[in-house]
Structure 1
Amino acid sequence: MSIDMGAIKAVRKEADCLFTKAEIDAAIKKIATEITNDLADKNPIVFCVMNGGLIFAGQLLPLLDFPLEISYLHATRYKKETTGGELFWKAKPEVSFIDRDIIIIDDILDEGNTLAAIIQYCQHAGANAVYTTVLLDKEHDRKAIPGFSANYTGLTCPDRFVFGFGMDYKGYWRNAPGIFAVKGL
């Protein structure tokens, strides 16, 4: 499959910047303060949801100045597409959840199917409690569970297709230094 790199570059050039790096940094600091206040004495295991949560986790974790364990999991519904499908586990966690508090770090809460499935997995694996944090929560009425939200949210965005700071457009632009909305999507 050949990728039209000109088209990929054009998407970034034409995109609307929704949040700058400075705005994202401020949101991450706010989340870190909230998590520290609530969970510093819980001995949590922190899971980064790959690949989207990687950049957010890399910025958040150094701000959590208390003992914790770090791991990752990889579950996706997008597989480089612009619409979600069935949940696909690329890598399940390999640590014990029994009687542990869990923090899940993900990039975005869109419909919530992926995050809800991860929470359920952790609960069934014996977690004491599961907390979630997302950099971005998308505003719309299509949440998988009415009223579903993350415990800690950085920013709220309109119902548009976004990329940057961990979120991708067809596998690209996770590295964009802000959060951008694709023109027309």
Structure 2
Amino acid sequence: METLHPDVQDILLSEEDIRGIVARMGAEITKDYADKNPLVVAVLRGAVVFMADLMRAVDCPIGIDFMAVSSYGDGAKSSGVVRIVKDLDTKIEGRDVLIVEDILDSGLTLSYLMRMLENRGPASVEVAAFLVKDVPGNAPAVKPRYVGAHVPDEFIVGYGLDFAERYRNLSYIGILKPEVYQK
């Protein structure tokens, strides 16, 4: 059983829950890409933990690469500005691309990223989102092909997700106490 960090109010997904989600998603991706060699792209930094586990759960040839985009800074709300900090090193023309994302809320940043990649002529661009945040009255701008779990409209940390570069190393997904991010 995980020890609750003092800044976390509740655990939403335990380590065991996460392992089950990753195994299920890996099996789905293996089935869908069995005869292909997709390029799995992690959106840094939050998705790196999920990608490391997911790629081990996929049983077909894959390549990996990384992108970094900036849209949040140190705050709890998006800055509204999307900036490519690190682009792909791999050419994607004619290749199936699977973007691995840690959490999807509005989907605006991911929508921008997908359009940018689609302009490079890949065979396909799909999304595997570990978490989708359920925001009442607001459907994400992107519909992921693979979804790990849905979470409430709260500030979620752990398993790669952070607040101001903290909590990424928690082994579970938890809800950050509001007094921590509302300072």
1:95 and 2:90 matched: yes
Aligned ranges 1:84-163 → 2 under 5 Å: 84-85=78-79, 86-140=81-135, 141-143=137-139, 145=141, 148-163=142-157
Q: 1:66 aligns with which of 38, 41, 60?
A: 60
Alignment length (residue pairs):
173
SS in 1 for 2:37: coil
SS in 1 for 2:68: strand
Q: Which structure features the higher share of helix residues?
A: 1
SS in 1 for 2:6: helix
Which residue identity does 1:32 align to in structure 2? Answer: G
Give the TM-score, by structure 1 length: 0.88
SS in 1 for 2:168: coil
Say if 1:109 and 1:149, in contact at 8 Å, map to a contact too.
no
Match of 1:13 in 2: 6
Say if 1:163 and 1:180, in contact at 8 Å, map to a contact too.
yes
Give the TM-score, by structure 2 length: 0.89
Unaligned stretches of 5+ residues in structure 1: 1-10
**Percent of pairs with identical residues:** 27
Query: What's the CA shift for 1:142?
Result: 2.9
Find the aligned partners of 1:127 and 1:72 in 2 and give their Cα distance. 16
Distance 1:61 1:22, change over 3 A: same
Query: What's the CA shift for 1:94?
Result: 2.1
Match of 1:6 in 2: none
